Each structure stands twice: as structure tokens, then as C-alpha cells.
Amino acid sequence: MKKSEFILTGYIESALADAEYDKLEDGTFCGTIPSCQGVIAFGKSLRQCENELQSVLEEWVLLGLQLGHPLPVLSQYNLNCESHYESMATL
């Protein structure tokens, strides 16, 4: 996978590339990302499940960053690095 010039976009794309989907007995779909503990989504169709999984992943990443939780390093993307920019709170 080509590394994105946008770190957050690249991280999301990398995580979604590792997603696993299962068709459930009732015909709906379940999607998970094994490296991102707790990221799970369901949908009536595979496409709906994929979209929901991306939404859940994005919220999971943002909440993790906000709370200072370490996030898994995916491919070449490490969102745990110290920023060399000033916090927006200081502005």
C-alpha cells in the first residue's frame, strides 16, 4: 500500500485495508479491524458495514487521541508521536 501524504488519512486507509468481514446467519454483515481493539460494525449490506466500520474507526481514533490512549502502529503510521507543533489550546 502506498503511503499517503496525509497521516490521518493514511492511518485510516491502512486500518481499513486490514478489516475482516463476516456474513452472519441472518444475512447481515459484521466488520472488525483486529489491530484496533473494540472497532466493530454491523450493516445490512457489505457496503453499509464498510461505511459504518470507517465511521466507528474514525471516532475511535479521535477519541483515543483526545484521551491520550496509545494507538496501534499501522504500516508506517504512528499517531503516538509527540507533535512538534503548539497545541490549539495554547492559541
pLDDT surpassing 90 at residue 29: yes
- Using one digit for the tens of pLDDT, what is the confidence trace for 31-67? 999 999 999 999 999 999 999 999 999 999 999 999 9
Mean pLDDT, all residues of the chain: 88
Instruction: Flag the least confident range among 6-15, 40-49, 80-89.
Output: 80-89
High-pLDDT (> 90) share of the chain, %: 71
* Confidence at residue 84, expressed as pLDDT on a 0 to 100 scale: 54
Mean pLDDT of all residues in 18-34: 98
Separation between Cα atoms, residue 41 and residue 52, nearest integer Å: 6
Mean pLDDT of all residues in 16-40: 97
> 51: helix, coil or strand?
helix
As a CATH number, domain 7-90 is 3.30.160.250
Res. 5 pLDDT band, cuts 50 70 90: confident
CB of 15 within 8 A of CB of 74?
yes
Residue ranges per domain, the chain? 7-90
